[in-house]
Amino acid sequence: MEYVNKLKVFNDPVHGFISIPNELIFDIIQHPSFQRLRRICQTGLTELVYPGAKHSRFHHALGAMHLTQKAVETLRAKNVEISEEEKNGVLCAILLHDIGHGPFSHTLEHSIIENLYHERISLYLMEMLNREFSGELDLAIQIFKGEYERKFLTQLVSSQLDMDRLDYLKRDSFFTGVVEGNINPDRIISTLNVKDDQLVVDSKGIYSIEKYLAARMFMYWQVYNHRTSFSAEVLLTQAMRRAKELSRNGEKLFATDAFGYFLQNEVKENLKDQLGQFIQLDDSDVWASLKQWQNHEDITLSCLSRCLINRMLPVSKILNEPLSADELNVLTNKTARELGVEDGSYFVHQSSVKVIPYDKHKSPVYIMNKDRSLQEISESSLQILSHHLLNPIEKFHLCYLDVKKNS
């Protein structure tokens, strides 16, 4: 039998060399459910604005695991006791935290399966893998669900200072070229500590944390909520909406078996029986279908698909105040007439876009002073930015198809 070296090293363009710490993690990475993440874009359709943003959820999961290894080492050096079992549990939890993402990540999160967040699907898949690995993921699942007694381990996976965010900000900034989002994860991790079973920051790290919170805000406005990529995502969700309507009315659309299943069947909450179908889905299922649908006789579906395939995107605006219902109706009816369709709502869309740079009520960040007392960061006498980042920023995104421009 050929020997397989399971302690491999990945050369990551963002963090450098990432080592695989044990055989269990190697086997998880090699599992088809995890390898699927190679075929799911981390940032949805952002590549239509930032051409370099073609990195995958696979990249991100490895990067988040790598940063978690560093965080564990840092905390151990500060006399925080973390057993090997706990280290392995938190590494598996962060590695698998995004395994439930479907095609185009957040873009189609509620379009393929209604009202079911990817975190819930991730949990289903972790439980499935746990059965395959004979219970070796028990602790990882406890940490992921926030049920393990040592809460700071869950905070490494999910909080305002988690390794997930540290990786995706650094990675997305790197691949988009948006330097305003660049952060220094190593510096932030070096200032982490634990007090009263919660993850805190040594006082010397407060400015790195404020820079990180500000960078996250800039990335939301410049990348994640960029008006043009947002409009492309609207087109994709509307194409899904139309394809589902046609499929459920008996129309036979081109689709892979797995994709066709979700077009034809309504799956709202309990996905456990359809996990086998779900893990067959990735971006390629959707792109292949869109290429075929652009020639479909249904004008709505063909137009939406053609606009996405050829990057003929709608007019897109960020407004301080939303259009009224009457103004939207005028725009919708005009678009319907020009396209020759009954329902113009597929091509006109308005939504609220709200960003909270720092939510101290949901997941506060605590600064540990030299006397080991704790202060929430916005109340620290050392802060210079944090209290400015508390207020939600709300704007309104409007997009509509310019029929003459896209004809």
What is the per-residue pLDDT across 101-118, written as a single tens digit (0 to 9) for each? 999 988 888 888 877 788
What is the per-residue pLDDT across 305-332, written as a single tens digit (0 to 9) for each? 999 999 999 999 999 999 999 999 999 9
What is the per-residue pLDDT across 172-188, written as a single tens digit (0 to 9) for each? 999 999 999 999 999 99
Is residue 74 predicted with pLDDT exceeding 60? yes
Pairing of strands 198-202, 366-368: parallel
CA–CA separation, 375 and 386 (whole Å): 12
Is residue 4 predicted with pLDDT exceeding 90? no
Q: What is the mean pLDDT of residues 149-164?
A: 97
Is residue 2 predicted with pLDDT exceeding 70? no
Q: What's the pLDDT score for residue 272?
A: 73
CA–CA separation, 218 and 94 (whole Å): 25
From residue 143, give the alpha-carbon distance in Å to each of 128, 149, 210, 271: 16, 9, 27, 22
Q: Could you tell me the pLDDT band of residue 167, with boundaries at 50, 70 and 90? A: very high
Distance from chain centroid for Cα 86? 25
Collapse the DSSP code of 147 into the 3-class scheme (helix H, G, I; strand E, B; otherwise coil) and give the result: coil
Rg (CA), the chain: 23
From residue 316, give the alpha-carbon distance in Å to each of 79, 225, 233, 236, 251: 52, 12, 12, 15, 32
CA–CA separation, 82 and 150 (whole Å): 10
Point out the least confidently predicted range of 61-65, 146-150, 268-272. 268-272
Q: Could you tell me the pLDDT band of residue 388, with boundaries at 50, 70 and 90? A: confident
Q: Could you tell me the pLDDT band of residue 387, with boundaries at 50, 70 and 90? A: confident
Q: How many residues does the chain have?
A: 407
Q: What is the residue-averaged pLDDT of the chain?
A: 93
Instruction: Tell which residue, 43, 14, 84, has the closest CA to residue 230.
Output: 43
Question: How many CA atoms does the CB half-sphere of 45 hold within 13 Å?
Answer: 24
Q: What's the pLDDT score for residue 3?
A: 52
Is residue 407 predicted with pLDDT exceeding 70? no
Cα angle value 129/88/105 (rounded, 5°): 50
Please tell me the chain's helix, strand, coil percentages from 3-state DSSP, rounded to the nearest 5.
55, 10, 35
Q: What's the pLDDT score for residue 143?
A: 98
What is the per-residue pLDDT across 253-279, written as a single tens digit (0 to 9) for each? 999 999 999 999 887 666 777 888 999
Q: What's the pLDDT score for residue 1?
A: 42
Instruction: Tell which residue, 44, 389, 396, has the closest CA to residue 215.
Output: 389
